[in-house]
A and B are shown apart, each in its own frame.
Chain A
Amino acid sequence: MATTVADPLDAVFGALADPTRRAILSRLAQGEATVTELAAPFSVSQPAISRHLKVLEHAGLISRTRRATARLSHLRAEPLREATVWLAGYRKFWEESYERLDELLETLQSQGQETDRSRPSDPAGRSTT
């Protein structure tokens, strides 16, 4: 096929890259809302909020339904979960490493400066003889 299907995660991360869209998702995590309700906390126009909602909808992060004349937006959690899983292994590797580094740094600092070791300014001097 000639068409290129973009990675759905690209759409998710693109949608999440914007702070207004993340704020909209946080609001929707508390329940469905109309465009007017979603626009209220922001200093942007309703059409701008509508554009953000389109991006979120395209990424599959929200679904929209109609109630009378209002369009309601709902949060859809599944793509968010996938995005989290995508980075989970990488994140876990570094978070656990850095927790260990916290402990090591604490130990090194509590041991005090009495064992003042070679300064990092002589990296070449570290080679073995």
Chain B
Amino acid sequence: MTEMQITAEPGVPQILTSREFAAPRDLVFRAFTEPDLLVQWLGPRRYKMTIDRWDLRDGGTYRYVHADEAGNEFGFHGVFHGDPSPDGIVQTFEFEGAPGHVSMDTATFEERDGKTIVRINSVFQSVQARDAMVDAGMASGMSEGYERLDDLLARLVANG
């Protein structure tokens, strides 16, 4: 399994990631686009993902929520541009905790010898917006400090 590559060049409002998966691209594409599959992997394990809207077509909108154990909810929404296919998914992405800060994400799926390389190109409105987004740790309380706090709270709340 190849490690995920992240490229965030200085001065360019963009983040590129790439990762190889041991599955054919049609299957990987399904995992990215079928709601019942998507909720099983997108986001850290300790978040429960629910999908409010998922209209996978040109101009269709989506919205989903990540909820942590403490009941904090993080909503995300956007619009699909062009008909999503294994050749590419283009969508806008906005964290509802920072309205108006929108990135445009392009995901491509390249099959090689039965494996699939997924590349995501996220373009932000400015370098500052990109850095703020990354600084916020995907804006979902992903920083270690919060994580330890959540773990502590989860232990305190215990097996309710």
Contacts and interface: CB of A to CB of B under 8 A. Distances in A.
B116 to A, nearest CB: 9
Contacts of B6: 87, 90-91, 94
Contacts of A109: 23, 27
Contacts of B15: 90
A121 B87 CA distance: 11
Contacts of B22: 102, 105-106
A95 interface: yes
A13 B9 contact: yes
A15 to B, nearest CB: 9
B40 A17 contact: no
B40 A104 contact: yes
B85 to A, nearest CB: 7
A88 B86 CA distance: 29
21 contacts: A7-B10, A10-B11, A13-B9, A14-B11, A86-B135, A87-B8, A89-B135, A90-B6, A90-B138, A91-B6, A96-B43, A96-B45, A97-B42, A98-B21, A100-B41, A100-B42, A104-B31, A104-B41, A106-B22, A123-B33, A123-B57
Interface of B: 1, 4, 6, 8-11, 15, 17, 19, 21-23, 26-31, 33, 37, 40-45, 55-57, 83-86, 131, 133-138, 140, 142-144
